[in-house]
Amino acid sequence: GENVEQHPSTLSVQEGDSAVIKCTYSDSASNYFPWYKQELGKRPQLIIDIRSNVGEKKDQRIAVTLNKTAKHFSLHITETQPEDSAVYFCAASYREKLTFGTGTRLTIIP
């Protein structure tokens, strides 16, 4: 089955700096890669996703890149703000079954 590895497990950045979270996957058949944000005590919510026919996708301060050959994808957050503090999960999917990474706790230092 699919295996998704996520790094780092914790990340602290100064407010205004950029944050990068990286994930690798094992199953070359995976074709959908979402990123979820989970604030303390709340449910995970989708923030951005990318499909395997696209190399990069951007939504305001958030971007995701995908390298199918190397089987890795990354989340980039620019101009970080205090409200970006949360746990972020990557996932990989073929058809409907998502396999999640273990999460990255991002802390924005004011």
Partner 1 sequence: DVKVTQSSRYLVKRTGEKVFLECVQDMDHENMFWYRQDPGLGLRLIYFSYDVKMKEKGDIPEGYSVSREKKERFSLILESASTNQTSMYLCASSLSPSSLSTDTQYFGPGTRLTVL
Half-sphere exposure (CA, 13 Å, Cβ side) for 30?
Answer: 29
9 near partner 1, judged by CB under 8 A: yes
Q: Tell whether residue 86 is a contact of partner 1 (CB under 8 A).
A: no
Within its chain, how far is the Cα of 35 from the centroid?
4
Residue 7 as a binder of partner 1 (CB under 8 A): the answer is no
Q: Which is nearer to partner 1, 27 or 49 (CB)?
A: 49
- Residues 62 and 47: beta-carbon distance below 8 Å: yes
**C-alpha span between 98 and 79 (Å, rounded):** 29
Nearer to partner 1, 32 or 78 (CB): 32
Of 49-78, binders to partner 1 (CB under 8 A) are: 49
Distance CA 75, CA 51 (A): 14
Q: Which is nearer to partner 1, 38 or 78 (CB)?
A: 38
Query: Which residues here bind partner 1, judged by CB under 8 A?
Result: 1, 6, 9, 31-32, 34, 42-46, 49, 89, 93-103
